[in-house]
Amino acid sequence: MIALLTRDIRLAIRAGGGFGLGLAFFLIVVVLVPFGVGPQSDLLARIAAGVLWIGALLACLLSLDRIFALDWEDGSLDLLATAPLPMEAVAVVKALAHWLTTGLPLVLAAPVLGVLLSLPAQGYVPLVVSLLLGTPALSMIGTFGAALTVGLKRGGLLLSLLVLPLYVPTLIFGAEMARRGVDGLDYGTPLLMLAGITCGTIALLPFAAAAVLRVNLR
Amino acid sequence: MSSIWEYANPKKFIDTTDRILPWISVLAVVCLVVGLVWGFFFTPDDFRQGSTVKIIYLHVPSALMAINAWLMMLVTSIIWIVRRHHVSALAARAAAPVGVVMTLIALATGAIWGQPMWGTWWAWDPRLTSFLILFLFYLGYIALWEAIENDDTAADLTSILCLVGSVFALLSRYAVNFWNQGLHQGASLSLDKEENVHDVFYYPLLVSIAGFVLLFIALVFLRTQTEIRARRMRALMARERMG
């Protein structure tokens, strides 16, 4: 498992096009928003949490089809399927590698971009915590979506159509928590709900992803 | 005539549905005509909502069927996963477009109703939002069916998507409840309540709900038959090419 994890991370970093791309996309989306809505800092402060969440979600989506597509093309997915490692574990490791190379950098970049959007001072901690809790769920759901569309030739657009509705609950609770933090309200309830969703997806979705992969490799 | 699983045989399914399809269709049309005409022309206007209340005879049944179509797809998907009856997978496939149309009717009539009543076509109300999300789920499901060439693979993948999607649709339903307070009224029809809407509106509404249910069943039967026949055609043509 660890060998697979290090291999995936190394591939993501060295193969180019994957690792920095999500982060750069996140940066560009956040930079473009003030051009779209105007430079008033009070307006930006009000929407900053939501914009950062949407940007992180889209950046996550961008790199999803790379999770399985390359392994599918060069046949290493078949090798993984015949390896002693169960498919469920493969799905978990893939999601973890995706999170480490996409989700975690996004979480770390979010406070910096928060400055650009003049996010109020009390909003930083809830924003980072909500992203830290929420992005693993995004990676896991995305892994399921990527497994679903791995055999398709033009799966990219379909993948976003399938995955985005599944992102709704995570986005609602994550952005709600960040927003409440910005307003100085109590954010305990959305925090617990977000953590619950993340734990639930990590516990259950690997089985769905593995089942889907087995169908696709048949 | 012992078990429902006999209808997993495509021939048996087609024979039986062929026999009852005309009856269901006629009954659906009768119910719809009676319910809608009764509702539109022979019920009084609501004292606050005026004549706009009559849109209820389209809005409520279509919303009901939009959700129940998804439930039916969920059940048939589980049957496909567990017992691998092809008719079941095809019925799920056949129900999806009907469900989309029902969702669209519910959304459109809701907008038309909301404009005079709430002064807006659309509000980010929990019920409205979850219907929009349901619509997206339907779109993804149908798109996945269309995208995959191998029939069995498509059936497997879409049924798993349906299971996962159901869980997330339910989660979204409660998440949007938490996210925003609603304009939409609470449930005004339920089986365990003493009084629902007033009887004058209630009976024509029940008739048109029955009409929508029958219409849905008729459409799903018809579309499932078409799917079975299309698959048979493809098999025959493949055999012809082989020989």
Cα distances (angstroms) measured from residue B199 to each of B40, B138, B185, B194: 15, 34, 19, 12
Report the residue from A165, A169, A218 with minimal CB separation from B175: A169
- Residue B46 per-residue DSSP state: B
Residue B128 lies in a domain: yes
From chain A, pick out residues whose CB is under 8 angstroms from the CB of B176. 168, 172
AA identity, residue B209: I
Residue B28 lies in a domain: no
DSSP line for chain A = -HHHHHHHHHHHHHSSSSHHHHHHHHHHHHHHHHHHH-S-HHHHHHHHHHHHHHHHHHHHHHTTTHHHHHHHHHTHHHHHHHSSS-HHHHHHHHHHHHIIIIIHHHHHHHHHHHHHTT--GGGHHHHHHHHHHHHHHHHHHHHHHHHHTTT-TTHHHHHHHHHHHHHHHHHHHHHHHHHHHHTT---HHHHHHHHHHHHHHHHHHHHHHHHHHHHHH-
Residues B178, A164: C-beta atoms closer than 8 Å: no
The CA-based dihedral angle spanning residues B27, B28, B29, B33, taken in that order and rounded to the nearest 10 degrees: 100
Query: Å from A153 to nearest chain B CA?
Result: 9
Going by C-beta distance under 8 Å and a sequence separation of 6 or more, which residues neighbour residue B191? none
Q: How confident is the model at residue B194 (pLDDT cuts 50, 70, 90)?
A: low
More confident site: B47 or A170: A170
- Per-chain mean pLDDT for chain A: 87
Mean pLDDT value across residues B117-128: 82
Residue B33 lies in a domain: no
Q: Is the pLDDT of residue A218 over 90?
A: no
From chain A, pick out residues whose CB is under 8 angstroms from the CB of B137. 165
Residue B64 lies in a domain: yes
Domain extents for chain A?
Answer: 2-217
Q: Is the pLDDT of residue B155 over 60?
A: yes
Residue B200 lies in a domain: no
* A216 close contact with B: CB closer than 8 A: yes
> What range does the domain containing B100 cover?
58-182+208-238
Q: How confident is the model at residue B151 (pLDDT cuts 50, 70, 90)?
A: confident
Q: Is the pLDDT of residue B191 over 60?
A: no
Q: Is the pLDDT of residue A209 over 90?
A: yes
Report the residue from A152, A176, A218 with minimal CB separation from B147: A152
d(CA B146, CA B169): 21
d(CA B96, CA B142): 7
Q: Inter-axis angle of helices A155-182 and A188-217, to 10 degrees? A: 170
Q: Is the pLDDT of residue B50 over 80?
A: no
Residue B3 lies in a domain: no
Q: Is the pLDDT of residue A50 over 60?
A: yes
- Residues facing residue B46 across a β-bridge: B50
Q: How confident is the model at residue B29 (pLDDT cuts 50, 70, 90)?
A: very high
In this predicted structure, what is the pLDDT of residue B25? 93
Residue B12 lies in a domain: no
Please classify residue B234 by burial: count the beta carbons closer than 10 Å to its beta carbon, then call 0-12 exposed, 13-18 middle and 19+ buried.
exposed
* A215 close contact with B: CB closer than 8 A: yes
* B41 close contact with A: CB closer than 8 A: no
Look up tokens 């591939």; give the residue.
A11
In this predicted structure, what is the pLDDT of residue B125? 82
In this predicted structure, what is the pLDDT of residue A79? 84
Residues B157, A166: C-beta atoms closer than 8 Å: no
* A146 close contact with B: CB closer than 8 A: no
Residues A162, B143: C-beta atoms closer than 8 Å: yes
Mean pLDDT value across residues A44-60: 90
Q: Is the pLDDT of residue B213 over 90?
A: yes
Q: Is the pLDDT of residue B130 over 70?
A: yes
How does pLDDT run across A63-78, given as a tens digit for each residue? 888 888 878 888 888 8
DSSP line for B137-186 = HHHHHHHHHHH--SHHHHHHHHHHHHHHHHHHHHHHHHHHHHH---SS--
Residue pair A6/A90 in contact by the 8 Å Cβ criterion: no
Q: Which of residues 139-178 of B touch A (CB under 8 A)?
A: 139-140, 143-144, 147-148, 153, 156-157, 160-161, 163-165, 167-169, 171-172, 175-176, 178
Least confident piece of the model among A126-135, A185-194, B19-28, B38-47: B38-47
How does pLDDT run across B164-188, given as a tens digit for each residue? 999 998 888 888 877 776 667 666 6
Q: Which of residues 168-207 of A touch B (CB under 8 A)?
A: 168-169, 172-173, 176, 189-190, 193, 197, 204-205
d(CA A170, CA A167): 6
Residue pair B67/B134 in contact by the 8 Å Cβ criterion: yes
More confident site: A39 or B62: B62
Residue B169 lies in a domain: yes
In this predicted structure, what is the pLDDT of residue A184? 82
In this predicted structure, what is the pLDDT of residue B187? 62
Alpha helix stretches (DSSP H) within chain B: 10-41, 56-83, 86-118, 126-147, 151-179, 199-242
d(CA B65, CA B142): 17
Picking from B135, B142, B146, B68, the residue whose alpha carbon sits closest to that of residue B105 is: B135
A contact test, residue of B168, B176, B177 with most A CBs within 10 A: B168
State the ipTM, two decimals: 0.86
Domains: count for chain B: 1
Q: Is the pLDDT of residue A12 over 80?
A: no
In this predicted structure, what is the pLDDT of residue B32? 92
In this predicted structure, what is the pLDDT of residue B200? 72
- Per-chain mean pLDDT for chain B: 86
**Inter-chain Cβ pairs, chain A and chain B, closer than 8 A:** 77
AA identity, residue A130: S
How does pLDDT run across B13-25, given as a tens digit for each residue? 888 888 999 999 9
Residues B164, A205: C-beta atoms closer than 8 Å: yes
Q: How many CA atoms lie within 13 A of B228 on its CB side?
A: 23
Residues A166, B147: C-beta atoms closer than 8 Å: no
